[in-house]
Amino acid sequence: MTTIIIGGVAAGMSAATRLRRLDEARQITVYERGAHVSFANCGLPYHVGGVIPDRASLLLQTPQSLASRFALDVHVRHEVVDIDTAAQTVTVRDLESDAERVEHYDELVIATGATAAPGPSAEQVPTHTLRSVEDVDRVLEVLDAAGASPRVVVVGAGFIGLEAVENLLARGAQVTLVTRGTQVLSPLDVEMAAPILALLRDAGVDVRLGVTVTGAEPGRVHLSDGSAVEAVLVIEASGVRPDRRLADAAGIRLGPTGGIAVDARHRTSAPKVWAVGDGVEKRGGLDGAPTLVTMAGLANRHGRAAADDIAGTEPDDAAPALGTAILGLLGTTVALVGWNERRLRDAGRPHRVVHTHPASHATYYPGAQPMAMKLLVDPVTDHILGAQIVGGEGVDKRIDIIAVAMAAGLSATALSQLELAYAPQYGSAKDPINMLGYVAENTASGATRTLQWHELDTALDHGAMLVDVRTPTEHAAGAIPGAINLPLDEIRARHRELGDRPIVVHCQVGQRGHTAARLLTQLGHDVRNLDGGYRTWAAGTAA
């Protein structure tokens, strides 16, 4: 039996090595059009910045090492240019000699991945992506020749674009970040993305929102806002799209997202053909609809699962994709899972929102770092629909806990009952995850009614009174326009001053506001707490 795998790196090599572990007798051949079949593509930006200084450490396996350990027949610089599903053959072109040959397969795995989405041309300035080792070599060649403080334009403010920005800054570059969107990191909601924009600008990055590249001349890039910026290099990171050209030409069905359509076992519409990786549709974790999720973890998992199916081990159906992701940027960690509020709103899906601002661990222990957390909850089932966290240490483990909770079907309220490891240098007796659960429970039960930052103006227009329950010193340092200051500890004695108007209370992050709301409710007032307090309102209105 002969299995041919088109494409290496995460999905292709996971399929190849897993299949060998399951079947020693099978002929397994891998064709990779690039020069490297197994490399750490997620580490490429960090080689540019010198965080990973040794280029060789990015090269995980070679054709020779794969042949020695796994008896794989790996061909780099070989591109499959045609698939004949009826004859069960592929046409392979040797990119060094340009010679072509036809090879027969019993099973075929397509792992062609994704390609950079085409962006506006800046041809007169060197323009490169960060998709391969060769890309990084070309980027470094330009930067090394440019000398100290080169000026670089990065196009795209997603994960790769921001990783490129951070590492260019580490090299001493002056960076202009250009994005057609109205915010950086579009998977985040606006109030969660606003601190990232401030972080970039504080680091000296010239961020241009709502702007695209329109052209270039030697040493200068022209932008749609009418300006031109000096640049020796353009990094194109405006996104990727599925590389489905081979599959499409072979008559293999594509899905509504443009990716290759597969079933729960990664089988395509063609007999004996599987497809895995970034070029393939996944099943969404919230609605079960086809979606594109380009994550290395999924690529590895699905490559392994396709090998299991080929070998006849009857694997479980693929789990739905939640889109769990994380980014480190200039000392800040950004993480997310599931849907954001914008997507829920656009889909017309009811949801409840919780914002909290806990510390990474007990504040009496030195080094605690703040984080902003957002949880999105189904108001009927109490299921978790998504989460976003921005902060320092501890963000990673909290987003992973929420991702596990979503995969396990735990409710938002159930987060309060999780027994998590605690010592003061690692967490709090009431962990930030537990606190999300407590707040979710309070809003679900009606113990506290909340108002979102973007709903505040409407409430005030309809006659509500805004009461800041922080201390006078906090109020003087920054206040929401129109708020009156009535400190929490004075409410019992002075609540009659508030009259009978509806009240919106707020504190700095929401916790004292909850206490004030409970007290005022029991004293007969109609009151809501501004979710996330002044800090969330300030971030949202700054966006």
Dihedral (CA of 219, 222, 225, 226) sign: positive
Long-range CB contacts for residues 288-295, cutoff 8 Å, separation at least 24: 288/320, 290/255, 290/256, 290/257, 290/259, 290/261, 291/257, 291/321, 291/323, 292/242, 292/257, 292/258, 292/259, 293/321, 293/323, 294/114, 294/240, 295/321, 295/323, 295/324, 295/325
**Can you tell me the distance from the alpha carbon of 387 to that of 354, in angstroms, rounded to the nearest whole number?**
9
**Can you tell me the distance from the alpha carbon of 110 to that of 242, in angstroms, rounded to the nearest whole number?**
12
507 in catalytic set: yes
**What burial letters (b/e) apply to 222-231, b meaning 16+ CB within 10 Å?**
bbeeeeebeb
CA angle, residues 18, 23, 24, in degrees to nearest 5:
110
Do 345 and 196 contact (CB within 8 A), yes or no?
no
DSSP count for the chain of H helices, then E strands: 16, 32
Amino acid occupying residue 337: V
Q: Find the catalytic residue in 108, 466, 507, 517.
A: 507
Q: DSSP character for 57?
A: G
Do 385 and 312 contact (CB within 8 A), yes or no?
no
Look at residues 336, 354, 358, 362 and name the one whose alpha carbon lies nearest to residue 508.
358
- As annotated, the active-site residues are 507
